[in-house]
Structure 1
């Protein structure tokens, strides 16, 4: 093969690589733009907060959003699902609140923060997977400054929220160790995809309860700016 032929093939390869990179960049731009727009369009836009009710919280660690709920309230009791013996340190089971999040198994287990992100986990999450988990943490009641945003729900709204969360957990779920001594992962239902991310699940749960939130909330910011 002559030097001229090698150079020609290299130019063609670089040309196609540039086209692929441009196409991926355009898809990413469209996805981000669509997510930000979807996050600004409200559902339950006419809802008004009640004067009294069940206080829950919306939280974010910058990667995953989740919901913090009381273990017992408005006829809902989570103690049959999240048991102290499921924890690395069962003493944390005495805390009165639980945090719930949902996501793709590999990404969830390996990516507590963006600093933990690995290409394999990111690729698995981007491609989509039916292998999902619910992340459950045992917590004290959040305090101002903890980063959790309060949301007051009517008892019926809270029961709808709880039903949505409960339906996301598999029957007799397999358990996985959590990030620390106070949390655990449980096998879940549902398929994770670029359309239905862990943050979109949080938005769907709140919308199902009747809370004013974005129609599609694929990113943490699209959830948190409502609260």
Structure 2
């Protein structure tokens, strides 16, 4: 027993230090010198308070990127061709699917999400741009940054043997959102918000050193939007 208690204390202390270091990464910026491009491409980082998405123009003329062409789903092209924006998010498959109808995933699902698990891409169509607010941060980025961010998003889908994006479900939470198969595994050190944060970082946009939470992502992009 005398050996057990010190070991438990050590593990608890190590866990606390790990959490402090993890959360501390939220306030350390990457690409700290990022400035918005005044006439750049409009994108948005949107959140529901727990999860973050990257909102992109459905068709961006200067880059020529057409997301409906990238998704390659004729039914979606027919239904959403007149929409203006599309949001992309990445996350744990079980967590996503158990969130239908506004429900919260089971405790066991949340616990298992700490370990490596399968993932999905969440794709949500917007008729128009959202209003800036507590959970919506608009940014203007260069065409080159937009192209790099788009490549990051496109690479996150898991294609079939013919290179096509694979639709997982006929619908998502509403009639305007859908799930696709995704690459990579979700776990405690690679969360949905880390996915968003990494995309911003790779595109040269201000981001956090580590972003396990939605607040971590929003903290840095708000500072990016405030710098003129």
Q: TM-score, normalised by structure 2?
A: 0.81
Cα distance, 1:146–1:43 mapped onto 2, change above 3 Å: closer
Counterpart in 2 of 1:76? 65
**C-alpha contact (below 8 Å) 1:41/1:215 kept by paired residues:** yes
Counterpart in 1 of 2:168? 175
Q: Secondary structure at the match of 2:68?
A: coil
Aligned length, in residue pairs: 210
Counterpart in 2 of 1:202? 196
Structure 2 counterpart of 1:218, from 203, 212, 215: 212
Counterpart in 1 of 2:225? none
Q: What are the superposed Cα offsets for residues 137-161 of structure 1, whole Å, 9 maximum, x if unpaired? A: 0012112347311011100000000
Whichever of the two has the greater Rg, that structure is 1
Report the Cα offset of residue 184 of structure 1.
0.3
Q: TM-score, normalised by structure 1?
A: 0.81
Q: Secondary structure at the match of 2:197?
A: helix
Cα distance, 1:30–1:114 mapped onto 2, change above 3 Å: farther
Gaps of at least 5 residues in structure 1 are 1-11
1:158 aligns with 2:153: no
Query: For the residues of structure 2 that align with 1:45 and 1:77, how far apart are their CA atoms?
Result: 30
Counterpart in 1 of 2:226? none
Report the Cα offset of residue 29 of structure 1.
3.2
Counterpart in 1 of 2:22? 35
Cα distance, 1:94–1:146 mapped onto 2, change above 3 Å: farther
RMSD of aligned C-alpha atoms? 2.9
Counterpart in 1 of 2:186? 192
Query: For the residues of structure 2 that align with 1:23 and 1:61, how far apart are their CA atoms?
Result: 36
